[in-house]
Structures are given as C-alpha cells and as structure tokens.
Amino acid sequence: MHSGLINRITINPDICHGKPSIRNQRYTVELVLDLLSSGMTQAEIINDYPNIEREDILACLEFASQLIKVKSIYKASA
C-alpha cells in the first residue's frame, strides 16, 4: 500500500551525496533505519532529532519496504 508519506523522501545530489533523505534535510533514510534497528523508539528518535517528525520515520519505513519489493535478488560475487 502506498500512503503518500514516501513523498517526504527526497533524493538530491547536493544533499548527503544523493542518498535518500528526509525532506531535503541531512537526515538520511539509512540513519533512521539504523536508529530503529538499534532499538530506538520513534519517540527517542524524535527527541534526539527534533527536526524529524513521526511521519518522516513512517516514510523511511515505507521507502525501505518499497525497495525490498523486487522481482529478483541476485547474489553478488566478491
């Protein structure tokens, strides 16, 4: 399901080297996902990063969910 929150995620080559970020700010999707996977709650993230809103966190999760929905995954050789 596409909620429209994903529109909060921007990709701008001038911000964070083009990594997906929140509303053209220097908070990347990667950062938010790392914080969540470390066990931080949404409230803790918002407390530590006041410019991040609850909807931004949900947008990061939606963005990640869309990325993982691929038709095929190939093993990369090192």
Per-position DSSP letters for 24-57, written without gaps between them: TSS-BHHHHHHHHHTT--HHHHHHH-TT--HHHH
pLDDT band at 72 (very low <50, low <70, confident <90, very high): low
Which pTM does this prediction carry?
A: 0.84
Q: At 75, which amino acid appears?
A: K
Q: What's the CA dihedral at 35, 4, 55, 49 to 10 degrees?
A: 60
The residues spanned by each domain of the chain are 6-65
Q: What number does CATH give the domain 6-65?
A: 1.10.10.10
pLDDT band at 78 (very low <50, low <70, confident <90, very high): low
